Each structure stands twice: as C-alpha cells, then as structure tokens.
Amino acid sequence: MKSINILTGVALLCLSGTAMAQNENDALRYSRLGLGGTARVQAIGGSQVALGADAGNLAGNPAGLGFYRRSEFTFTPGIQFGNTNSTVDGNKSVDQRQNLHLSGLGLVFGRRKSDGTEGAWRGGAFGIGFTRQNSFQHKFNYQRAASGATIVESLAESANRYGIGDTNFENREGLAYETFLINYDQDAKEYYATNRIGVVQQSEDVLSQGAQNQWDFSYGASYRDKLYLGASIGLSTLRYNQVSTFKEAENNSTTVFQNLTLRDEFTTTGNGINGRLGVIFKPTDLFRVGASIQTPTYYAMNDSYQTSLQVQEFENHDVSTDPGEYSYNLTTPMRLNGGLAFILGKNGFISGDLEYVDYSKARLNDDTDSDVFRATNNRISTDFKSAVNLKLGAEGRYDIFRLRAGYALLGDPYKNGTIDRKQSIITAGAGIRQANYFADLAFVTSSANSVYSPYTLNDVADQPVVNTKSRVNNLLFTVGLNF
C-alpha cells in the first residue's frame, strides 16, 4: 500500500483496499521542483531567466546559450544535510539525514563570429546538461500513546468499505484478517477489530530516498547581440523509494494482542520528455529581459510495492502481500518563466524571476482503463491551484572574486488547508573567475511544513496527525573549464 509525499502538505493516507494507490500527492510530488543548476545559479536563488553564458541555462532558459563566446565544461557535486522535527500529541521527535549527490553536469560547445565578420546571426552554442531537479532524501519518526481507536480499527473500517480482496494476501486488510487483528461477524455482516484494553503505544519510522533528474539537449543563438533565442529537449528520470515501519504495542495480560509491526515499501520509477523555448532581449548593455516556456512533462511510470505484517499474540504471525507492480502515465503542468536582469557593468548584476505553474493541471492516466484515475484527477483539479514562484539574486564582483546571495519563495500549491505550504529558500555563494577556469561555492537552505497521518478513521478525533517541520541544507561546488 502506498503512502504519500510527506514534504508537500496535508498528507492523509487513505487505506483504499487495493495494492494500487497512486493519488494526487504523487502527481504533486513530481510537479513541484526545487532549485537546480550550477552553484552560481543556485547561489542567486535560481534567478537565471534573463542571464546568459551559464550552464544553468541548459535546464533553465536555453536562449542564454547564445551569450557563449567559447566552449565550457562544468561539474557540480553537492552534499545535502538536514533535520526534521515531528510533533504529535505534544510529543516531539528529531531525525537527521545526509547524502552526497551529483547536482549538475554541463558541456557547452560555443561558436561566435569575429567582430569584423558580417552577418546578423553572431553566434550560437549547443549544450548537453544533467540537472538534479528534486531530492527525495528525507527521514522522520514519531511516538505517541493512543487511548482510543488505532490502526486496527482503521483496518476493520477499510475492510467493511472495500473488502479484503480476492485472496487474504492481496492487501493490508487481508493481512489483518489472516493474523486475527480483525474478524468477521456473520450475524452483523461486518468486520470488527480484535479486543485491546488501555493505552496502546504507537511509533513509526518513515524513510524516503531518490531523486528527480533531467538531461537537457539545448541550443541558443544570438541575433545582432540584441535578441537571443533558444530551444531544448529534456529527458527526465525519477526514482522514489519509501519504507515506513509502523508499530503498536499493548501491555495487558487480559487480552490476546501484544504487538504488531506493519511495514510498507514502494518504489516509483519514471521516464519523461518535455520541450522548452526561450528568448532574451538586451536593449542596452545595462538591462535584459527574458522569458521561457516549458511544455508539460510526459512520464511513463512504474510502481512496485509490498506490505508485510508481523503480529504477536498467543502465537506469532508473519505474513506479507505478493510483490505487486503497476504501470501508468503522468503528465506534469507546463511552466512559464519571466525574468529581468540589471547589469551593473563590471561590478555585478541584480536579477529576478517569476515562474507560473498550475498544479491543478497535472494528470494521471492508465492506457487500459480510462476511468481508473477519474476520481484522482478530479481531486487534483479541486484540491490544487496555480502558484507563482519568486526568485531573486545578486552578484558582486571585485577583480577575479565573486560574492552572491539570493532568495526564492515557492508558492503554495493547495487551495485550502490549515498550514502554510509555501517553501522559503535562502542562498549564498562565492567564486573566482580566471581566463581558462572558474570555481564556485553555494549554500542553499530551505524550510517546509507538512502534515501526515499513517491511517484514517471514521472518527477523525482519534486519528493521529503528525506535524513536521523540515530544514534541508545543500552545499554545492562547481568547477568549470573554458576551452
């Protein structure tokens, strides 16, 4: 049984009674992207739409490639580290996670006519780049004492709503029935939870891993050194793995039940394609305006999943569902970008971007059954909205040295909710530039709030709600060679 993305907002997992549980939160997870590009671009808050001559244009505005006067290679590794604070019923837990990753890779082949050569088209550049668009590295845990209904009642309610499948090993509800957590009342014609008394101790560990990446093949050209045009094709890949381990334990000798451990694991992989067009206009040497449009990304997706349940009563039970797979399609929304840049001569620049994304336009699709995602797509349309992402940045120059700072505010994609799901990102960086090489360092820190529930109940008052506050930091280093 699949749970949901704990980073993007209200995330209440419904036990659907089937192994397949792709939902609106999956669509949002792969539609809401973070900052990407070189350390220079990320240090200025990702605001590169009106700038040029940076490998970050490969995944941003391809028109910026028209500014290149020679060829360039860039390599950007990074380290991500952060923590998550979880609170439920007044109990607080802290978890941490770190990982090394490749944030970007770029190779640009630039060609420009000499100043004495005639022709309106002054030059162009073709580039190939790899960009890490999203990180799914996250970990959190919580503990609570439940005095009312717990996950066992939730499984009974779900079994009454959806049944337990054709076999007892098809879904969570069937596993609960096989291990005697729930039983069937022939007279009442309904499932009921096994008897438990007193306080039940609950805990859960949730670990997410993976990333969303894109390979871009881009070309940009310069017309009279005033108008810059570009186009690119993006090939996207993603992998998301989540393992959740939920536990309940009771200490009462008058009941049969002692404890349970429910483990859910699922992995999503996908391959997608999109296209992008861009333009930058430079009316004077001091001012630039840019815009780009990216088509929706069309993904072919595949999910694999398995659930296991261990229950200790008078005797131990250890059962699991058969491994399952499901293939489907996802279309993420188109993206519109506009930007301004003020060039301060040899002293640096100030830049700003606005990005528009309508998250309600994401769609899930099954080629073999047009109705399977009808309800999910309706929820995408009604629960999500359009959002504007703001990105600001500046660079100061002194001789070969560069200092940078930036800020990004990613808009809330939800129409309604009790928490603010905007994402705030603060960036800073420094670098040096020489004739044939350069090196840049960037620090990016972001924060986000989310809400999570491991199961649902008819009586919402008994349903646990975990509030999480996440802080994610990235330290990036770009080394570049000009040739």
Chain segment 324-347, per-residue pLDDT in tens? 999 999 999 999 999 999 999 999
- Tens of pLDDT, residue by residue over 114-124, are 887 888 999 99
Q: Bridge partners of 278?
A: 230, 292
Helix (H) or strand (E) holding 210: strand 200-223
- In whole angstroms, give the CA distance from residue 10 to residue 88: 14
Task: Tell me the mean pLDDT in the region 387-395.
Answer: 98
> Which tokens hold the place of 52?
């040029």
**Residue 276: other Cβ atoms inside 10 A:** 24
C-alpha distances in Å from residue 148, one per residue of 145, 152, 196, 213, 457: 9, 11, 10, 44, 11
Q: Which amino acid type is present at position 69?
A: R
Pairing relationship of beta strands 121-135 and 200-223 according to DSSP bridges: antiparallel
The pLDDT score that the predictor gives to residue 313 is 87
- In whole angstroms, give the CA distance from residue 238 to residue 54: 25
| Per-range mean pLDDT, top range of 169-183, 242-256, 391-405 | 391-405
3-state secondary structure of 87: strand
In degrees to the nearest 10, what's the CA dihedral of 188, 193, 197, 200? -160
Percent of the chain with pLDDT over 70: 96
- Tens of pLDDT, residue by residue over 157-183, are 999 998 887 777 888 999 999 999 999
Per-residue pLDDT band for 406 (boundaries 50, 70, 90) equals very high
* Predicted confidence (pLDDT) at residue 20 exceeds the cutoff of 90: no
Task: Tell me the mean pLDDT in the region 414-431.
Answer: 90
The pLDDT score that the predictor gives to residue 98 is 92
The pLDDT score that the predictor gives to residue 192 is 96
Question: What rounded mean pLDDT belongs to the chain?
Answer: 92
- Tens of pLDDT, residue by residue over 219-228, are 999 999 999 9
* Predicted confidence (pLDDT) at residue 360 exceeds the cutoff of 70: yes
Helix (H) or strand (E) holding 378: helix 374-383
- In whole angstroms, give the CA distance from residue 185 to residue 187: 6
The pLDDT score that the predictor gives to residue 228 is 98
Phi, psi of 171 (to 5 degrees): -155, 180
Contact 451, 464 (CB under 8 A): no
The more confident residue out of 72 and 4 is 72
The pLDDT score that the predictor gives to residue 21 is 59
Domain map (residue ranges) of the chain: 10-334+360-382+447-482
In degrees to the nearest 10, what's the CA dihedral of 169, 170, 176, 178? -30
Task: Tell me the mean pLDDT in the region 243-271.
Answer: 94
The pLDDT score that the predictor gives to residue 170 is 84
The pLDDT score that the predictor gives to residue 115 is 81
C-alpha of 59 from chain center: 17
Among residues 471, 410, 395, 472, the alpha carbon closest in space to that of 440 is found at 395
